[in-house]
């Protein structure tokens, strides 16, 4: 570009030489030195040569040189003064730029001159103004969707609050998308971006003209629903959003399924500070997430109490293993063809002296978030493997021990080493260990998941996919995974006999699994009808309350013993016959 304009880096040669000279720090001093040397040195040299070579008296020579010196000095001073003023546009532009960079204040540079210096000033003023708008936009708006970002949302919320003299009600609504991470990982970021843009459009069409919509972070949007007279209006909007966003979105010729959770806090009932209103809406949104997909939840003081309880649980969870407050129960898995116990699932229990019995559904997510699951999970694995080996050593029938692996554990680089170490320490053969992995865990990083699963599988460990059907079930990845067993989630089994959709899903999962040469186990069978339906449709195994609730190691040993005695008796009868 510079070359095209007839300027090149070599043109900076004189400038860079002068820059190295001491006392010539400013641009102006360099120009002035050149002007001085260029105009006055040749003139003075000529004059001195002329005076010396002329036949003047010494007195005359001194006088002529003195007058000439004086004249050039005055001339130099006037020239330098004029140059100083002529260079003002450059200095002014420089100062304006500095001032903008330091204070982000736009300069008032003159724009009515048309030569290079004038254009430099006006272009600088224009460029800075443009730049300022862009910086403002980047700082306040989300690049992908063009919506206000978190910073601007805070500002707007503050404005709404400060202008709200007559205490008019409004709602702060936080919207979180469920599958963004999975979509990015499985279908690519392009599809994820398209989906986000489409979500932004859908949200824009759901809200009123005076409502404010913003994107808070990757998968969270927020709305200020202004001028509401009752919370019903917030409910209507939340339902409208769920209805709109839970429909599949067409992104890059791919139908993307989404899920959404919404948290709502209402002014003035909930809080009157910006950060609290938004914080409460986020808290309500987290609560909505716990209730399942496509749910909304209002903030209420009970949520605060829950938060407090959670913090207490978190505090005590740290020492739960050390204090021997945790133990395992085992739930039998029964083969539907032979009726025999072929395995058990190890289920973690926490009997806290302070909180009483805490459900794993409550403390496992906390352990995951805090990273405590890594040490707890290792303890579960070691205890379960040791238990299985001790049943074997007691001469009981050999069964498989299924252990749940949480996503945090699965992401740890050394899961395979830990598994190998535990098997070695407990002297359990890897065929008697099964690891249960959930779908959502795999989809987060498919390639890494496949690598880890391959390593575990190569060690001889059985792998099962837990809660199948509840996550972002992409059938395309299913055949790439080295899994052996699909565990149908209990939500489908529960409704099996009343909901024909669920019955169809269960049937489809069984035939899908068999086509992929996988076994199927159903969780949550509680009635005879469910049991018979599963048996009729070729389900291989069940694990449920119908057979047995999770029980202690001793109780399970008893069950195994009874079973083996029964088999022995039958065998003996057969021999006698
Ligand atoms: P999961 O792995 O899907 O475990 C099955 C859950 O379903 C267990 O609940 C079990 O008691 C329950 N269940 C089995 N049959 C029936 C039935 O017929 N009806 C009903 N209503 N429920 C049934 P639990 O023990 O409360 O565990 C809940 C979840 O906590 C587990 O779901 C698993 O995700 C997690 N979890 C439990 N132990 C561990 C563990 O050691 N590590 C990890 N990472 N997660 C664990
Ligand atoms: Mg499980
Ligand atoms: Mg399950």
Q: In the chain, where are the structural domains located?
A: 17-137, 150-299, 311-566
Least distant ligand from the CA of 494: 1
Q: Which fold has domain 311-566?
A: TIM Barrel (3.20.20)
Q: If you take atom 22 of ligand 1, which residue's CA is the nearest one? A: 524
Give the pLDDT of residue 271: 60
Give the pLDDT of residue 207: 95
Q: Which fold has domain 150-299?
A: Alpha-Beta Plaits (3.30.70)
**H or E element at residue 137:** helix 116-140
Through-space distance between the first and last CA atoms of the chain, rounded to whole angstroms: 101
Least distant ligand from the CA of 470: 3
In degrees and rounded to multiples of 5, residue 213 shows phi and psi of -115, 140
Are both 150-299 and 311-566 of the same fold? no
Cβ pair 178, 195 in contact under 8 A:
no
Q: Furthest-apart CA pair in the chain: how many Å? A: 155
In degrees and rounded to multiples of 5, residue 394 shows phi and psi of -80, 5
Q: How many CB atoms lie within 10 A of CB 312?
A: 13
Q: How many CB atoms lie within 10 A of CB 423?
A: 21
* % helix, strand, coil for the chain, step of 5: 55, 15, 25
Least distant ligand from the CA of 436: 2
Q: If you take atom 21 of ligand 1, which residue's CA is the nearest one? A: 524
Q: 471 C-alpha to center of ligand 2: Å? A: 14
Give the pLDDT of residue 574: 38
Q: 553 C-alpha to center of ligand 2: Å? A: 17
Q: What sign has the CA pseudo-torsion 281, 284, 286, 289?
A: negative
Question: Mean pLDDT for each consecutive 10-residue tract of the chain (577 residues)?
Answer: 57 84 83 82 81 82 83 83 88 91 88 89 93 89 94 92 84 92 85 93 94 94 92 90 90 82 86 80 89 87 72 90 94 93 97 95 89 94 98 96 92 91 97 91 75 95 90 70 92 84 89 93 91 93 92 96 68 40
Q: 507 C-alpha to center of ligand 1: Å? A: 22
Q: Over the Cα atoms of the chain, what is R_g? A: 39
The 3-state DSSP class for residue 350 equals strand
Least distant ligand from the CA of 545: 1
Mutate to test the pocket of ligand 1, among 326, 327, 332, 347 (most ligand atoms within 8 A of CB): 347
- Torsion-angle region of 328 (φ positive above 0: left; ψ -120 to 50: alpha; else: beta): beta
Q: 314 C-alpha to center of ligand 2: Å? A: 22
Give me the DSSP letters along 265-316.
Answer: EEETTS-SSHHHHHHHHHHHHHHHHHT-SSEEEE--HHHHHHHHHHHHHHHH
Rounded to whole angstroms, how far apart are CA atoms 29 and 35? 10
Q: 545 C-alpha to center of ligand 1: Å? A: 11
Mutate to test the pocket of ligand 1, among 364, 375, 489, 546 (most ligand atoms within 8 A of CB): 364
Name every protein residue with a CB atom under 6 angstroms from any ligand 1 atom: 331, 347-348, 359-361, 364, 377, 380, 404, 406, 436, 466-467, 490, 523-526, 543-545, 550
Q: 38 C-alpha to center of ligand 3: Å? A: 89
Which structure tokens are listed for 286?
A: 């987290």
Rounded to whole angstroms, how far apart are CA atoms 73 and 385? 99
Rounded to whole angstroms, how far apart are CA atoms 469 and 491? 9
Give the pLDDT of residue 575: 38
Give the pLDDT of residue 577: 37
Q: 117 C-alpha to center of ligand 3: Å? A: 74
Give how far the C-alpha of residue 243 lies from the chain's centroid of Cα atoms, to the nearest Å: 24
Give the pLDDT of residue 293: 86
Contacting residues for 522 by C-beta, under 8 A, at least 6 apart:
487, 488, 493, 506, 534, 539, 541, 542, 543, 544
């Amino acid at each position: 570009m510079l070359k095209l304009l007839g300027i090149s880096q070599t043109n900076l040669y004189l400038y860079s030489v002068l820059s190295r000279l001491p006392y010539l720090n400013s641009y102006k001093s360099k120009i002035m030195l050149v002007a001085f040397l260029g105009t006055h040195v040749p003139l003075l040299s000529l004059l001195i040569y002329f005076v010396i070579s002329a036949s003047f008296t010494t007195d005359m020579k001194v006088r002529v040189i003195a007058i000439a010196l004086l004249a050039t000095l005055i001339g130099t001073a006037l020239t330098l003064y004029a140059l100083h003023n002529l260079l003002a546009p450059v200095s002014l532009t420089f100062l304006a730029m500095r001032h903008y960079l330091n204070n982000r204040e736009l300069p008032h540079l003159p724009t009515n001159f048309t030569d290079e210096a004038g254009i430099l000033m006006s272009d600088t003023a224009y460029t800075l103004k443009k730049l300022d708008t862009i910086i403002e936009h980047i700082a306040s708006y989300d690049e992908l969707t063009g919506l206000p970002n978190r910073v601007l949302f805070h500002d707007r919320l503050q404005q709404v609050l400060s202008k709200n003299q007559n205490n008019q009600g409004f709602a702060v609504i936080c919207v979180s998308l469920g599958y963004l991470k999975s979509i990015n990982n499985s279908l690519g970021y392009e599809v994820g971006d398209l989906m986000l843009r489409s979500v932004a459009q859908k949200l824009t069409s759901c809200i009123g003209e005076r409502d404010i919509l913003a994107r808070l972070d990757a998968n969270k949007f927020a709305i200020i629903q202004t001028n509401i007279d009752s919370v019903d209006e917030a409910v209507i909007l939340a339902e409208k959003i769920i209805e709109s966003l839970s429909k599949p979105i067409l992104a890059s010729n791919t139908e993307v399924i989404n899920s959404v959770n919404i948290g709502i806090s209402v002014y003035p009932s909930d809080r009157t500070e910006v950060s609290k209103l938004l914080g409460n809406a986020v808290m309500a949104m987290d609560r909505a997430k716990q209730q399942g997909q496509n749910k909304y939840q209002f903030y209420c003081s009970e949520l605060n109490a829950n938060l407090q309880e959670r913090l207490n649980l978190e505090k005590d969870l740290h020492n739960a293993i050390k204090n021997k407050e945790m133990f395992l129960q085992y739930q039998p898995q029964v083969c539907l063809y032979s009726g025999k116990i072929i395995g058990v699932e190890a289920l973690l229990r926490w009997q806290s002296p302070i909180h009483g019995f805490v459900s794993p559904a409550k403390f496992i997510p906390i352990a995951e978030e805090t990273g405590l699951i890594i040490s707890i999970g290792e303890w579960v694995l070691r205890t379960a493997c040791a238990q299985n080996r001790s049943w074997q050593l007691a001469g009981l029938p050999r069964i498989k021990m299924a252990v749940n692996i949480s996503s945090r554990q699965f992401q740890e680089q050394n899961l395979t080493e830990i598994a190998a170490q535990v098997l070695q320490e407990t002297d359990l053969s890897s065929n008697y260990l099964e690891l249960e992995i959930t779908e959502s865990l795999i989809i987060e990083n498919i390639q890494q998941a496949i690598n880890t699963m391959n390593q575990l599988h190569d060690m001889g460990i059985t792998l099962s996919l837990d809660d199948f059907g509840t996550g972002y079930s992409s059938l395309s990845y299913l055949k790439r995974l080295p899994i052996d067993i699909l565990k149908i989630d209990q939500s489908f089994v529960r409704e099996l006999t009343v909901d024909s959709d669920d019955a169809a899903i269960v049937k489809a999962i069984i035939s899908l699994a068999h086509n992929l040469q996988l076994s199927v186990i159903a969780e949550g069978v509680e009635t005879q009808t469910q049991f018979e339906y599963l048996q009729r449709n070729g389900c291989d195994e069940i694990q449920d309350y119908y057979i047995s609730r999770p029980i202690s190691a001793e109780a399970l040993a008893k069950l195994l013993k009874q079973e083996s005695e029964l088999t022995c008796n039958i065998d003996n009868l057969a021999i006698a016959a």
